[in-house]
Chain A
């Protein structure tokens, strides 16, 4: 038995230590935002944050998640009343096609903007492109929405930097 905090709420989970965090979230906690894609940390659909750092939840054993760890899924990134800048940009740019990979895409994009944009000196367009290339190449989209993903990230970056998109 261990307690993890998922999107701000405590959950007692009583599972084997080698159960991937993804299945704990989906089957035990009922947080179905993170998706099962490849199961080997190659596609990014299962991306969540553990203690504010992105991880591939399909490849992280619950036994390796610290007692009391703070897990954030797409559901906890923003609220319908106060969307995260990346979520708002996703809607603005109508990024999703089938949508399956999008929770992971949004979590990866939000991590990038948190580290490199929010409260930081403005990045040049080329530097932002470079960071997007690094941050998002590990998140696959079979529908090929990459151009809209890039546009939405730039739009969210501009808003977070206090600039007009």
Chain B
């Protein structure tokens, strides 16, 4: 009898636990996705064309490619003759519609995310899969991912803007959400 019970637990148990635990885990992922799909983050997590995007409340409903034919092709911080920091200086511009800034070369290096970390235009399921897979997340375990989002200077820079352009939560809160999502089995949505 005990053997039967053990067999049932071994076969059905993990699936049942997974089914029970996936809902809170998916809710946590939803919060992570809120941050990752925010324009302040996603605009530079672009695909193979290496064209950063302009999207966000100041651009209305339709995202558009970065103006002025800008592309990171050749180098993720821009071609040598027109690097990102030609216009994006070390401070967020105080002038309306001025370029956001980031310190560069040494602190928060202003550059596009690697192509395998494309978020812009990707579904929540696709971003989740990319974020979890070590081959596309910088070879990081969940704990390292939580550490990354709470300590990487360019990630932290995302929150250093006025409130209407700021991603939700805080870097510290995001790190805790990532940890909790990992503890919940790090489930990903199916679509």
Contacts and interface: CB of A to CB of B under 8 A. Distances in A.
B79 interface: yes
A131 B97 CA distance: 27
Contacts of A64: 89-91
Contact of A54 (B69, B81, B90): B81
A134 B91 contact: no
Nearest to B70: A138
A18 B69 CA distance: 29
B87 A134 contact: no
A137 interface: yes
Contacts of B96: 40
A59 B98 contact: yes
B138 interface: no
B89 A60 contact: yes
Interface residues of A, number: 26
Nearest to A140: B68
A114 B67 CA distance: 24
A112 B91 CA distance: 25
Interface in A93-151: 108, 111-112, 114-116, 131, 133-135, 137-138
Interface residues of B, number: 24
Given A40-B99, A133-B69, A138 B82 contact: yes
A131 B18 CA distance: 53
Contacts of B71: 134
A8 B68 CA distance: 31
B98 A137 contact: no
Contacts of A60: 89-90
B163 interface: no
Nearest to B82: A135
A47 B89 CA distance: 13
B51 to A, nearest CB: 11
A39 B94 CA distance: 11
B95 interface: yes
A41 B87 contact: yes
17 contacts: A40-B93, A41-B88, A42-B67, A53-B86, A54-B82, A54-B86, A60-B89, A61-B90, A64-B89, A114-B81, A115-B81, A116-B81, A135-B79, A135-B82, A137-B69, A138-B70, A138-B86
